[in-house]
């Protein structure tokens, strides 16, 4: 399969006055063309920082990539090690918006209020493609039509405040798609939307992904969204990947107690029994437990969990889990490969 992005043991730390925050602390995954990777976790687990590290959008004065690698494989040419590029240099700017595009959580604030939708889409097109203004405008109208905005010839000249939330997210998607990116990172794209709109937007993203053989990283805290779109899922907790598995395994046979907890706290139609919340709450960035970070909330906690951090145990061709409960199997850490 065509791998487009490979992240290995990525660590991004924030250096702030109060100390070091290990926002991303050992994240690995690989992404294939046409496939969807779901990143799921509660707020503060590092999923958004992961995406911004890939895009190199974090301020270098605050956040530092302390370890790991992010390899991007362009359609032609040598792979690019994204951790090594200058975050404000030409190389990353050629990739941003052009080969790796991103859509954000808040459609209400993701568009600049003083420029028209068309101006904002054309800006990306004119930046990355050598076309005339007229062609860029025509392309902007095309992508607006593609994402299902009615009367795109008129809408293109309207301002963001004239669009509803769902329409703005469509416009954001249009902007992200305007240069036919090979990877789309969607950071909670439907969290701020109504459920009916959510379904439409997810369907739209999937359809475009299918048409363009685009790789998708879907970041969300909502397992229903993951079930809808993902092929492979990584579950994050406090900056670490606790479980990585194909989507069916995650839902039918979750291995990590945290994944199990997330599923048990998920309301489902037709499910009669009471929801079981995960006890406790995510510890703050400075209260990280010594051993397994989930130990204080884990129903199966053992002495070993509090003392030692579990490595990743390989359970199948595409699944591994970081939990001492699976110690019988062969131990392989990601650093080895």
Nearer Cβ to other proteins, position 127 or 301? Answer: 127
For residues 61-90, one letter each, b for 16 or more C-beta atoms within 10 angstroms of the residue's C-beta and e for the rest, the string is eebebebbbbbbbeeeeeebebbebebeee
Helix 117-128 to helix 133-146 angle (10° resolution) is 120
Nearer Cβ to other proteins, position 114 or 269? Answer: 114
Closest approach of other proteins to the CB of residue 256, in Å:
31
d(CA 184, CA 148): 18
Nearer Cβ to other proteins, position 177 or 247? Answer: 177
Binding other proteins (rule: CB under 8 A), the pick from 14, 29, 104, 258 is: 104
Q: How does DSSP assign 217-245, residue by residue?
A: EEEES-HHHHHHH-SEEEEEETTEEEEEE
Number of H helices, E strands in the chain: 11, 12
Nearer Cβ to other proteins, position 116 or 190? Answer: 116
Stretch that binds other proteins, among 35-43, 86-94, 287-295, 305-313 (CB under 8 A): 86-94
d(CA 292, CA 285): 14
Binding other proteins (rule: CB under 8 A), the pick from 95, 202, 235, 250 is: 95
Closest approach of other proteins to the CB of residue 11, in Å:
22
Q: Is 9 exposed, middle or buried (0-12, 13-18, 19+ CB in 10 A)?
A: middle
Binding other proteins (rule: CB under 8 A), the pick from 66, 67, 127, 266 is: 127
Angstrom distances, CA of residue 81 to CA of 55, 58, 313, 330: 12, 16, 27, 30
Nearer Cβ to other proteins, position 90 or 211? Answer: 90
d(CA 49, CA 133): 35
d(CA 308, CA 301): 12
Q: Is 293 in the site for other proteins (CB under 8 A)?
A: no
Site for other proteins in 156-175 (CB under 8 A): 159, 161, 172, 175
Binding other proteins (rule: CB under 8 A), the pick from 2, 60, 112, 327 is: 112
Closest approach of other proteins to the CB of residue 121, in Å:
10
Closest approach of other proteins to the CB of residue 179, in Å:
9
d(CA 337, CA 198): 38
Nearer Cβ to other proteins, position 100 or 146? Answer: 100
Stretch that binds other proteins, among 64-72, 124-132, 281-289, 318-326 (CB under 8 A): 124-132
Binding site residues, other proteins, CB under 8 A? 52, 55, 57, 88, 93-98, 101-102, 104-106, 109-114, 116, 123-124, 127-128, 159, 161, 172, 175
């Amino acid at each position: 399969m065509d791998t487009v992005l490979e992240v290995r043991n990525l660590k991004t730390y924030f250096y702030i006055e109060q100390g070091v925050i290990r926002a991303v602390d050992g994240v690995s995954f690989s992404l294939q063309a046409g496939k969807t990777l779901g990143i799921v976790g509660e707020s503060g687990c590092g999923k958004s920082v992961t995406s911004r590290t890939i895009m190199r959008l974090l301020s270098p004065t605050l956040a530092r990539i302390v370890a790991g690698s992010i390899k991007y494989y362009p359609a032609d040419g040598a792979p690019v090690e994204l951790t090594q590029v200058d975050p404000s240099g030409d190389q990353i700017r050629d990739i941003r918006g052009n080969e790796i595009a991103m859509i954000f959580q808040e459609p209400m604030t993701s568009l600049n209020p003083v420029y028209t939708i068309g101006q904002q889409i054309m800006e990306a097109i004119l930046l990355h493609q050598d076309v005339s203004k007229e062609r860029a405008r025509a392309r902007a109208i095309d992508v607006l039509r593609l994402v299902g905005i009615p009367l795109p010839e008129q809408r293109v000249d309207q301002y963001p405040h004239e669009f509803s939330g769902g329409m703005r997210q469509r416009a954001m998607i249009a902007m992200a798609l305007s240069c036919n990116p090979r990877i789309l990172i969607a950071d909670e794209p439907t969290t701020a939307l109504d459920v009916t709109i959510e379904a439409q937007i997810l369907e739209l993203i999937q359809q475009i992904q299918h048409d363009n053989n685009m790789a998708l990283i879907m970041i969300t805290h909502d397992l229903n969204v993951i079930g809808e779109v993902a092929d492979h899922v990584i579950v994050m907790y406090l900056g670490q990947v606790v479980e990585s598995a194909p989507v069916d395994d995650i839902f039918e046979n979750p291995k990590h107690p945290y994944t199990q907890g997330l599923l048990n706290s998920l309301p489902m139609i037709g499910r009669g029994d009471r929801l079981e919340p995960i006890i406790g709450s995510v510890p703050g960035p400075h209260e990280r437990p010594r051993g397994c970070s989930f130990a204080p909330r884990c129903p199966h906690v053992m002495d070993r969990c509090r003392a030692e951090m579990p490595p990743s145990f390989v359970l199948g061709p595409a699944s591994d889990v970081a939990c001492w409960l699976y110690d019988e199997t062969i131990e392989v850490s990601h650093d080895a490969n």
